[in-house]
Structure 1
Amino acid sequence: MSKPNFTEEEDDLIARMYKLVGDRWSLIAGRIPGRTSEEIENYWKSKNSTSST
């Protein structure tokens, strides 16, 4: 399964929206045409996961 490519603009918007509304993925997805809340949540979690292994 390949990760969907997010543009720099989408990444910035997701980060700003997350600061405002937290993990309300469907609300964030409503601001980004063509993206699902699941895609955004998975992207955010994979991008911001901290691996301490």
Structure 2
Amino acid sequence: MSVEYHFAFLTNKFFARLSERSQWSQIKPHSSEMALTQNFSRQNRAIFLNRRQTR
């Protein structure tokens, strides 16, 4: 298992748990929390793309 694959797997697991929790409570996450997760995914995408380009 490559590091990149493992990283993506953990990220997917994290988002799955996040959406599960918001569905279970039936409460939309706070706007700050949403911005934080969007920022997080954007950073991950940038890192992932940069690492693929350097190879």
Give the number of the structure with larger relative contact order, counting CA–CA contacts within 8 Å between residues 6 or more apart: 2
Larger of the two Rg values belongs to structure: 2
Which TM-score bucket, shorter chain as reference?
0.3 to 0.5
Structure (1/2) with the larger helix percentage: 2
Q: TM-score, normalised by structure 2?
A: 0.34
